[in-house]
Amino acid sequence: MRSRRPSGGGVTHRSSRPVAVIPLVAIAIVLRAAAQETVTAAPVVVTATRLPQVLTDVPAAVSVVGPEDVRGARRTVGLEESLNQVPGVFAQNSDNFAQDARIQIRGFGTRTAFGIREIKVLLDGLPETLPDGETELDEIDLGAIDHIEVLRGAGSSLYGNAAGGVIQLFTPSDSGTPWAGTRMTGGEFGLFKSEVAGGGSNGALHSYVHASYLQLGGFRDHSAVQRGDFLARLRYEWTPDTDATVMLTGVETPYAQDPGGLTRAQADANPQQARDLNQQLRADESVEQGRVAVVGRRRADWGELSAYGYALYRDFDNRLPITPAAGDGIVAFHRVSPGGGARYLLDRPLFGLPQRFTLGVDLQHQDDNRRRFAN
């Protein structure tokens, strides 16, 4: 090792290169230790294709919206809050609860004047879409939803005609430890929402309950809403391979006011005003709906068999901004809609080759007793 004596003193300074090796060795040791740590994420299993499959193995356009993106720091008032982040999905909501949100998936549903059509919506595998193709969202509270699966494209034809896309909503899975919680949300324009939820397991019995109350004054005049939702799920396991689930859902909306549309000049003058005729004729709607469903499943060496049945009742009153001279502006109906289905799944090798075979049927019926009156 060479040394150099400076002109100002008698101290010899040696080269610092051997010292610099120490931090490099320490960094190499840390990197090697980090490389030896293996982090394995749990696989994401989806059922939008009628078969439980790992998301990375599904030969279709499927997106999953997780719990944090459904409920985390959100109002949980409209489905568009969660779906606007999904590619190929376009959701509009002007907070007009008398007409619901408008949702399109890859163009399907674009021509719908209001509500949702051409798209199948399911809650825990039970159809929310009616036999006539229309979907009502007032029974669904995002506060009770754990995650959402969205299926886009031709694969959605598995759910029947006019299914340009499928939206599946799932409530939280069974929890072994009993729990209970509450959540309250407030904001501008009279927004107030309160929720209570709880669940847990006791032996073979598993339960989940969620109830909410929503009140919103609205940005515009005559756009207030008041709504209460309820969901309860009870599952009993006779054996690890046999279980049955009972689900109850209900919604009551005493009023959901409709402010109507404005011209460009009216919106520029006062965007918060309501259409005169809508206020004069008290355009709004009120809803009462309840549904009870039973789902059973049995797994054995010969395959898996599942079946479901449900009955829905809906009481609906709607005041439209139509004068008596133009026609009947009040629509009221009582709806009864039962349905059911069954599915068989065989998931085992055939002639030494892995395969999955499924066969099923879905049935729905709708009976509306409609009346119209002059407003």
Rounded mean pLDDT, 73-92: 88
Please state, in angstroms and as integers, the Cα–Cα distance from residue 13 to each residue in 1, 10, 17, following that order. 11, 10, 12
d(CA 17, CA 302): 72
Q: Residue 143 has what pLDDT?
A: 92
d(CA 272, CA 259): 9
Average pLDDT score over the chain? 86
Q: Residue 25 has what pLDDT?
A: 54
Report the 3 state secondary structure along 142-154. Answer: HHHCCEEEEEECH
Instruction: Please check the confidence at residue 2 and state whether its pLDDT lies above 50.
Output: no
d(CA 72, CA 65): 11
Token pair 């075979």 in the structure block, residue: 357
Closest C-alpha among 335, 333, 373, 318 to residue 99:
318
Q: What type of residue is 310?
A: Y
Q: Residue 247 has what pLDDT?
A: 97
d(CA 92, CA 102): 5
Instruction: Please check the confidence at residue 74 and state whether its pLDDT lies above 80.
Output: yes
Q: What are phi and psi of 132, to 5 degrees?
A: -80, 0
CA angle 350, 307, 231 (to 5 degrees): 130
Closest C-alpha among 92, 368, 94, 74 to residue 256:
94
Who's near 42: CB < 8 A, 6+ residues apart? none
Instruction: Please check the confidence at residue 53 and state whether its pLDDT lies above 90.
Output: no
Q: What are phi and psi of 133, to 5 degrees?
A: 95, -5
Q: Residue 35 has what pLDDT?
A: 57
Q: Judge whether 216 and 77 are in contact, CB under 8 Å.
A: yes
Instruction: Please check the confidence at residue 22 and state whether its pLDDT lies above 60.
Output: no
Q: Judge whether 112 and 118 are in contact, CB under 8 Å.
A: yes
d(CA 308, CA 256): 32
Which pairing describes strands 330-347 and 367-373: parallel, antiparallel, or unpaired?
Answer: antiparallel
What's the pTM?
A: 0.83
Please, what are the domains in the chain?
Answer: 45-166 (2.170.130.10), 175-373 (2.40.170.20)
Q: Judge whether 72 and 95 are in contact, CB under 8 Å.
A: no
d(CA 244, CA 306): 10
d(CA 76, CA 144): 9
d(CA 137, CA 163): 17
Instruction: Please check the confidence at residue 345 and state whether its pLDDT lies above 50.
Output: yes
pLDDT band at 3 (very low <50, low <70, confident <90, very high): very low
Q: What type of residue is 89?
A: V
Higher pLDDT, 217 or 354: 217
The DSSP code for 67 is: H
Q: Residue 29 has what pLDDT?
A: 56
Neighbours of 338 (CB within 10 A): 15
Q: Residue 95 has what pLDDT?
A: 82
Instruction: Please check the confidence at residue 328 and state whether its pLDDT lies above 90.
Output: no
d(CA 74, CA 5): 71
d(CA 304, CA 171): 22
Instruction: Please check the confidence at residue 26 and state whether its pLDDT lies above 70.
Output: no
Q: Residue 36 has what pLDDT?
A: 62
The DSSP code for 157 is: G
